[in-house]
Amino acid sequence: MTRRLAPLLIALAAIGVVADAGAQTTPAKKELVQRLLRLQQADIEGFARTVVERPAAQMMREAGLALQQQAAPQEKREAAAKAIEAEVRKYVDEAYPIVRDRAIKLAPSTIGAVFEAKMTEEELKLLIGWLESPTAKKYQQLGADLRNNFSQKLVAEMPAVLDPKLQALDGRIRAILGVAPAGAAAPAPAAPPPARPASK
């Protein structure tokens, strides 16, 4: 949502269009804000999905690391990974509609309240006109491709830059914790004490 509106709001502010509209509210202005929120609903729902999926994705990463460290057979680890993935999918399917509905319900009193307080009817009409225009729709469609292309390129170039730094960080953290460096062989078990001769 912010990603789509930010460039337009910055442009409007730069030419002095966005001003504090004060608390003056009319039925027409309220209707414009509702219309604007309807135009933003997909972004609001997308943010709700992120809120739901982010902690689950973190749990999956941690579970994946834990599975890699287990000494269980590969088939057993793969079965556990599939079971975890199924549980995460179930959680998302159950939690997302709740969070989405709450986000949509909150939008008028949060996002809508800001638009209502900070923008005039004329500014709201201008903003809605832009968001409904073919140019804005094309820009939004291109936005996903542009972000994907950019992020893929950036991520592809980062291992060469970040891997040495991450390895150094891992080494420092392990030193603080007193844990063997990653990939180091586990210390050999202590030799058993010599057997005592049987007393006669």
> What is the distance between the alpha carbons of residues 45 and 102, in angstroms, rounded to a whole number?
10
Whole-Å CA distances, 134 to 40, 104, 129, 131:
16, 25, 10, 8
> What is the distance between the alpha carbons of residues 48 and 101, in angstroms, rounded to a whole number?
9
> What is the distance between the alpha carbons of residues 48 and 104, in angstroms, rounded to a whole number?
9
Six token digits for residue 164: 């040495």
SS3 181: coil
Phi-psi region of 178 (alpha: psi -120 to 50; beta: other; left: phi over 0): left
* pLDDT in the model for residue 160: 84
* pLDDT in the model for residue 19: 42
* pLDDT in the model for residue 195: 53
Mind listing the pLDDT tens digit for each residue in 172-194?
A: 888 888 878 766 655 555 555 55
Mind listing the pLDDT tens digit for each residue in 101-157?
A: 999 999 999 999 999 999 999 999 999 999 999 999 898 888 878 888 888 888 888
- Return the H-helix or E-strand segment holding 89: helix 74-107
All structural domains of the chain with their residue ranges: 2-132, 134-180
Q: What is the CA radius of gyration of the chain?
A: 28
Mean pLDDT along residues 79-93: 92
Question: Can you give the pTM of this predicted structure?
Answer: 0.61
- Residue 171: pLDDT band (50, 70, 90) is confident
* pLDDT in the model for residue 66: 85
For residue 36, the tally of other CB atoms under 10 A from its CB is: 21
Six token digits for residue 65: 């690391």
Nearest to 116 by CA among 3, 10, 200, 32: 32
77 neighbors 37 (Cβ within 8 angstroms): no
